[in-house]
């Protein structure tokens, strides 16, 4: 039926090829394809919901508290109320956009040292209150920049500190209660700029679980009951959750759930007509959208991009769309420039009015830890993604549109390790769509997974996503999902092909993720994982890794830890065995980057119960070096250890440094230093010294490694 194979179908059914079967087969084939398409797209559709929780009880506020606030906001009601409620144990720390993360780290250390007692430092960030654009960058608030600096400071410090991010009106929980009969008004989103804090903080929580408290959104007006709930959550009585909305009706937590299309619901299908503006229109995503719009009747397509007609493939795309009967204008316009966007909109003819906007423009950027991202880079990443949407929203505020579509990303929904600024930008776009709906205007923001054939990510990132369980979606089906979301008036939607058996282990490596608790596939996988862990606990009852290592001779310790590192590195890279992870090969050569390095760190944290740095694979650049580091952390030298033992450890660190040197000058300097040390150790050269010196001079790096291994007895 699927192939419309009349002969094969007739033979299977024992019927003649003539007559009714010939007539009905095309309809059956079309029905079959539509059913398959419906099943596939429904499997990609998810949405965010907010679930009511039991009333939290007031716990004990222990330890010292630091309330971080934007400069000039110390007298805000929320700041003053929080300060009074936390009492003498709390200190206020005003922060401005000019405050560096190094300065913040120093101030954190000083304030913590002045606190009473050795308890943990709880950092309550009210920085989101500064939701105005910073330095003229649309979509980049001062509060977001200060939060980035604060997160970097906390990541750098050795303090026992946990971060709570607090916003007001950054999210909407929909209509509180259980159904229309509840009689409650919808909870409307009031401050879309503050939603960027949620995207950023999610990634911080993934990358630095030990520094993470949670996110709390408060309503614009706080009564006594609402504020009491807020304090109860800060005291730790929210259970194992980490994303809360506190409202007059109670406390809610965030969940991602399946959202198959309600085909029985009444809709007003979007029929593209008039002029449709597609930003990023000459890119891969914009081109896929443009083809669909042209095929469905849009009279005029305006494809805007930075390079316009000079963009690669622009002429060919224009010719292709024109052949479909659509007039095409390819315009050079930087949508981050408000004046340029206004000029483009003014140039459009009233004879063929603008009826819809599809904003696909934006830059993904390289994934790396927040600590390695400057404020300038973060500002540029957020501005590139958000500003165009804001300019279009403002300039078309009074213009009737049938569709206003924003291309967001799953990074803003669940957080992607190493993509803090990008996640912040996409969370803002989702919030902007909800805010527009609250204003009575059309908007749909789709948080996409990966698209096949390029567009959102390059080939290297696409491969990383595939290994993590997010393969590329067929573009024609992704565009179909987009059109359905607009048809059904959906404000926000997640559309992603997620293979949970691969995605879940990496995503939960640092700890449980309550966001996924209601997904049946996740529940099943977690149940299987729990059963395996219980069996492993029973098998190893009473044992622990340091104790196991201590009972082994040194060569077996080394092999055991090396196998541990290789096993987890192979899992991160998506390999079925450890064969490709050679002990002496650099992690960078194996394909590790900042993102996968953090994932490996999280796995080893769980396996060893250590707290390892995010830069682990760069500080210890080979599996052998990393295994040795783990050995030293798990079985540190005792104070009375023999000097020779300590010296061997230090020489191994020198070897690790030499292996990890990334440039020739550094390697040459380290090698020369080792040669000089050997000559000094020998004292006056024996008769064969010249030959030895010549041998050392001509030795390659690998020869030197072999020499060190032999001298240390680890060859």
- How do the domains of the chain map onto residue ranges? 6-43, 64-174+187-258, 275-498, 542-634, 643-712
Residue 528 has a pLDDT of: 86
Contact 378, 420 (CB under 8 A): yes
> Minimal CA–CA distance to 460: which of 362, 365, 329?
365
Residue 156 has a pLDDT of: 80
What are 50's strand-pairing partners? Answer: 254
What are 357's strand-pairing partners? Answer: 277, 404
How far is CA 112 from each of CA 93, 127, 148, 209, 603, rounded to the nearest angstrom?
12, 19, 20, 20, 30
Residue 653 has a pLDDT of: 54
* Global pTM value: 0.78
Residue 256 has a pLDDT of: 97
What are 254's strand-pairing partners? Answer: 50
CATH number for the domain formed by residue range(s) 64-174+187-258: 3.40.50.11460
**φ, ψ dihedrals at 636, nearest 5°:** -65, 155
| Helix, coil or strand: residue 470 | coil
Pairing of strands 212-218, 161-168: parallel
Pairing of strands 275-279, 121-125: unpaired
Please state the CATH superfamily assignment of the domain spanning residues 275-498 in this structure: NAD(P)-binding Rossmann-like Domain (3.40.50.720)
Dihedral sign for Cα atoms in the order 120, 126, 128, 134: negative
Provide the H-helix boundaries in 540-634: 545-550, 554-573, 587-590, 594-608, 616-619, 623-634
> In which residue ranges of the chain is pLDDT below 50?
178-182, 539-542, 638-642, 644-646, 649, 684-696, 713-715
Residue 413 has a pLDDT of: 96
Reported residue count of the chain is: 715
Q: Angle CA(483)–CA(486)–CA(489) in degrees, nearest 5?
A: 150
How far is CA 184 from each of CA 134, 175, 179, 245, 691, rounded to the nearest angstrom?
37, 7, 9, 16, 90
Fold match between domain 64-174+187-258 and domain 275-498: yes
Contact 652, 624 (CB under 8 A): no
Structure tokens at 127: 């920085």
Contact 206, 427 (CB under 8 A): no
Residue 263 has a pLDDT of: 83
CATH fold group of domain 542-634: 1.10.1200
Residue 705 has a pLDDT of: 55
Residue 326 has a pLDDT of: 95
Contact 450, 411 (CB under 8 A): no
Cα distance between residue 565 and residue 89, in whole Å:
43
Residue 688 has a pLDDT of: 45
């Amino acid at each position: 039926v699927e192939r419309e194979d009349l002969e094969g179908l007739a033979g299977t059914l024992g019927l003649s090829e003539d007559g009714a079967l010939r007539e009905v087969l095309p309809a059956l084939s079309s029905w079959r394809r539509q059913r398959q398409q419906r099943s596939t797209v429904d499997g990609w559709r998810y949405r965010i919901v907010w679930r009511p929780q039991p009333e939290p009880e007031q716990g004990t506020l222990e330890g010292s508290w630091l309330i971080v606030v934007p400069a000039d906001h110390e007298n805000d009601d929320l700041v003053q109320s929080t300060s009074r409620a936390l009492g003498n144990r709390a200190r206020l720390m005003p922060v401005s956009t000019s405050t560096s993360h190094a300065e913040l780290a120093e101030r954190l250390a000083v304030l913590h040292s002045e606190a009473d007692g050795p308890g943990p430092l709880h950092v309550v960030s009210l920085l989101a209150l500064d939701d105005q654009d910073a330095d003229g960058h649309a979509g980049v608030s001062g509060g977001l920049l200060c939060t980035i600096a604060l997160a970097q400071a906390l990541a750098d410090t050795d303090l026992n500190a946990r971060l709570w991010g607090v916003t007001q009106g950054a999210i909407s929980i929909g209509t509180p209660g259980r159904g229309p009969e509840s009689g409650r008004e919808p909870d409307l989103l009031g401050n879309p700029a503050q939603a960027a804090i949620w995207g950023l903080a999610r990634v911080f929580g993934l990358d630095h679980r030990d520094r993470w408290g949670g996110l709390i959104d408060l309503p614009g007006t706080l009564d006594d009951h609402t504020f009491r709930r807020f304090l109860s959550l800060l005291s730790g009585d929210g259970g194992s959750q980490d994303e809360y909305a506190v409202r007059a009706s109670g406390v809610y937590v965030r969940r991602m759930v399946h959202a198959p299309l309600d085909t029985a619901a009444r809709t007003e299908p979007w029929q593209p007509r008039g002029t449709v503006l597609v930003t990023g229109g000459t890119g891969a995503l914009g081109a896929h959208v443009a083809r669909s719009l042209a095929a469905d009747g849009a009279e005029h397509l305006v494809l805007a991009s930075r390079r316009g007609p000079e963009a690669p493939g622009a002429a060919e795309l224009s010719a292709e769309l024109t052949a479909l009967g659509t007039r095409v204008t390819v315009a050079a316009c930087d949508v981050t420039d408000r004046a340029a966007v206004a000029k483009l909109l003014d140039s459009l003819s009233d004879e063929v009015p603008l009826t819809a906007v599809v904003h696909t423009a934006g830059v993904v950027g390289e994934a790396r830890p927040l600590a390695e991202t400057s404020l300038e880079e973060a500002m540029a990443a957020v501005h590139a993604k958000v500003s165009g949407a804001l300019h279009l929203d403002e300039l078309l505020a009074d213009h009737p549109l049938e569709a206003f579509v924003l291309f967001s990303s799953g990074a803003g929904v669940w957080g992607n390790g190493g993509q803090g600024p990008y996640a912040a930008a996409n969370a803002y776009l989702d919030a902007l769509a909800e805010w527009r709906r609250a204003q009575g205007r059309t908007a749909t923001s789709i948080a996409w997974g990966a698209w096949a054939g390029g567009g959102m990510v390059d080939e290297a990132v696409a491969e990383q996503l595939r290994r993590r369980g997010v393969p590329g979606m067929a573009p024609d089906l992704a565009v179909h999902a987009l059109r359905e979301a607009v048809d059904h008036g959906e404000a926000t939607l997640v559309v992603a092909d997620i293979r949970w058996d691969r995605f879940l282990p990496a995503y939960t490596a640092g700890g449980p993720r309550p966001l996924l608790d209601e997904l049946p596939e996740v529940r099943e996988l977690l149940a299987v994982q729990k059963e395996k862990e219980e069996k492993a606990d029973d098998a190893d009852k009473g044992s622990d890794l340091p104790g196991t290592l201590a009972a082994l001779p040194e060569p077996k310790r080394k092999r055991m830890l090396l196998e541990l590192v290789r096993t987890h590195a192979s899992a991160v890279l998506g390999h079925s065995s450890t064969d490709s992870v050679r002990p002496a090969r650099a992690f960078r050569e194996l394909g590790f980057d900042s993102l996968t390095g953090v994932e490996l760190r999280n796995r080893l944290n769980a396996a060893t119960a250590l707290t390892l740095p995010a830069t682990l694979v760069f500080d210890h650049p080979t599996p052998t070096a990393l295994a040795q580091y783990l050995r030293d952390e798990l079985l540190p030298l005792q104070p009375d250890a023999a000097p020779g033992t300590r010296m061997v450890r230090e020489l191994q660190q020198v070897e690790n440094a030499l292996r990890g040197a990334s440039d020739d000058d550094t390697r040459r300097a380290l090698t020369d230093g080792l040669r000089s040390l050997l000559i000094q150790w020998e004292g006056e050269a024996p008769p064969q010294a010249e030959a030895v010196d010549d041998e050392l001079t001509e030795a390659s790096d690998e020869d030197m490694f072999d020499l060190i291994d032999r001298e240390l007895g680890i060859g």
